[in-house]
């Protein structure tokens, strides 16, 4: 079968280039926006997902992992007594003020687990040994803090809420949604730095369920014993932490609006170029009809041209998005483009390009094949 659709669309390379550019722009816009959004959301729950706990226990109505509220640390004993609990431990997550060598002050998010070995916090140590954190006024600082705190070296000192602490090591990939740098220190040290709030208190209890135990049953039992706390699975807690930022910051609305605009631009460009192309090729479509072709034959041509524009434009939009991941990562952001997202965007691009072709469908449906006789 002679491929009139492909040959015609490739015959006018400039127009095809404009169509593809329009689609590629829309695809890249959507991928960048959603990818950056997913990257930010990943930061919002990265510590939850890496900690290695099955259940998280927190104060009632804690909105997200960063905004923790203290409660008595002794509640962990009640948790440990629940059947099916293999391990339970306290974790303090708390904002503290860090003084920089310049004299400026910045906020820092302290993660202080009671037992560093029970939980994967931190999960990627690039310098130092977490066991040393128990020995005195020390802390580990994540490498991502350089943008906010400036360069640092292990062995240097920083003031945390007025106390001089030594940087004993560094970590990687421990980030918060707000980009507030994360530092890791001993549980007791964290309590001593903020005694007014944290003395005798913790902000989370992490629970590891015994192999074979029913996580949901354990969760229900803990919830029954700690009625003044919330008990969530890791997945629930990560989802809630991400959802908080989506809903409270308008980021979700911003993303939806950008996607809408991207898609709109893509549809308009494709519809406009396809329609113009259709108008210029009306006589050819009339000829197709005159030699016995039906409207379905012409719809097939237009649909195929729209699909070709969609697929080529999709590829042209994906390539820069993928190439940009490295430079974006260097700036401290993440562009996360999972395969399902690519699949959804591809299907959406084809669907929207076909939608854009509907305008042309309407035009060719009304073609009078008699126009082929006009000079």
Partner 1 sequence: METVLEATDVTKDFKEGRETVRVLRGVSLSIAAGEIVALEGPSGSGKTTLLSIMGCILTPTSGRIVVDGEEVRGDRPGRLPAIRKKSIGFVFQQYNLFPALTALENVEYALNIKGVRGRPARVEAEAMLDTVGLADRKKFLPRDLSGGQKQRVAIARALAARPAVLLADEPTANLDSTVGGQILELFRVLAKRERRGLLVVTHDPKVRTVADRVVLIRDGLIAA
Residues engaged in binding partner 1 (CB under 8 A): 1-2, 4, 7-8, 10-11, 283-284, 286-294, 297, 368-370, 372-373, 375
Q: Which is nearer to partner 1, 52 or 300 (CB)?
A: 300
Q: Which is nearer to partner 1, 236 or 297 (CB)?
A: 297
Locus of tokens 């994967």: 120
Query: What token pair was written down for 2?
Result: 């002679």
Q: Tell the smallest beta-carbon distance from residue 353 to partner 1 (Å).
A: 20
* Residue whose C-alpha is closest to residue 38's, from 205, 255, 282: 255
Calculate ∠ Cα 189-134-54, nearest 5°.
85
Q: Which is nearer to partner 1, 1 or 339 (CB)?
A: 1
Q: Tell the smallest beta-carbon distance from residue 16 to partner 1 (Å).
A: 11
Q: Which is nearer to partner 1, 67 or 299 (CB)?
A: 299
Q: Which is nearer to partner 1, 358 or 372 (CB)?
A: 372
* Separation of alpha carbons 353 and 361, rounded Å: 12
Calculate ∠ Cα 319-320-321, nearest 5°.
90
List Cα–Cα distances, 93 to 31, 223, 229, 233, 313, in angstroms: 33, 21, 16, 18, 46
Half-sphere exposure (CA, 13 Å, Cβ side) for 336? 12
* Continuous segment of H or E residues that includes residue 91: strand 85-99
b vs e for 177-190, b when ≥16 Cβ sit within 10 Å of the residue's Cβ?
bbebbbbbbbbebb
Q: Which is nearer to partner 1, 4 or 88 (CB)?
A: 4
Residue pair 349/310 in contact (Cβ under 8 Å)? The answer is yes
Q: Tell the smallest beta-carbon distance from residue 282 to partner 1 (Å).
A: 11
Q: Which is nearer to partner 1, 97 or 291 (CB)?
A: 291
Q: Tell the smallest beta-carbon distance from residue 48 to partner 1 (Å).
A: 57
Q: Tell the smallest beta-carbon distance from residue 22 to partner 1 (Å).
A: 21
Q: Tell the smallest beta-carbon distance from residue 367 to partner 1 (Å).
A: 11
Q: Tell the smallest beta-carbon distance from residue 255 to partner 1 (Å).
A: 40
């Amino acid at each position: 079968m002679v491929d009139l659709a492909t040959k015609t669309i490739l015959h006018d390379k400039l127009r095809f280039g404009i169509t593809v550019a329009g689609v590629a722009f829309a695809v890249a816009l959507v991928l960048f926006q959603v990818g950056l959004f997913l990257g930010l959301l990943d930061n919002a729950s990265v510590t939850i997902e890496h900690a290695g706990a099955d259940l998280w226990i927190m104060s009632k109505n804690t909105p997200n992992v960063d905004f923790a509220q203290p409660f008595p640390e002794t509640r962990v004993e009640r948790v440990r007594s629940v059947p099916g609990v293999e391990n339970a431990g306290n974790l303090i997550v708390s904002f503290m003020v860090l003084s920089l060598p310049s004299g400026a002050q910045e906020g820092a998010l302290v993660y202080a687990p009671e037992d560093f070995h029970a939980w994967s916090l931190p999960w990627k140590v690039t310098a130092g040994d977490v066991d040393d954190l128990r020995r005195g006024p020390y802390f580990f600082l994540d490498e991502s803090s350089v943008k906010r705190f400036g360069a640092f070296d292990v062995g240097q000192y920083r003031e945390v809420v007025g106390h001089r602490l030594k940087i004993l090591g560094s970590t990687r990939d421990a980030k918060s949604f707000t980009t507030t740098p994360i530092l890791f220190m001993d549980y007791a040290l964290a309590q001593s730095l903020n005694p007014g709030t944290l003395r005798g208190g913790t902000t989370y209890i992490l629970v590891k369920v015994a192999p074979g135990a029913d996580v949901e049953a354990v969760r229900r039992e803990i919830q029954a014993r700690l009625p003044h706390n919330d008990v969530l699975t890791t997945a629930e807690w990560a989802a809630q932490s991400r959802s908080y930022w989506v809903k409270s910051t308008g980021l979700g609305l911003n993303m939806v609006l950008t996607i809408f605009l991207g898609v709109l631009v893509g549809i308009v460009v494709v519809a406009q170029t396809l329609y113009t192309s259709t108008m210029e090729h009306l006589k050819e479509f009339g000829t197709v009809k005159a030699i016995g072709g039906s409207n379905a034959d012409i719809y097939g041509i237009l649909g195929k041209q729209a699909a070709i524009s969609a697929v080529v434009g999709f590829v042209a939009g994906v390539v820069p998005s993928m190439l940009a991941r490295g430079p974006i990562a260097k700036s401290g952001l993440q562009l996360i483009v999972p395969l399902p997202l690519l699949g959804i965007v591809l299907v959406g691009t084809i669907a929207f390009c076909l939608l854009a072709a509907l305008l042309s469908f309407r035009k060719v449906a009304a073609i009078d094949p008699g126009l082929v006789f006009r000079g």
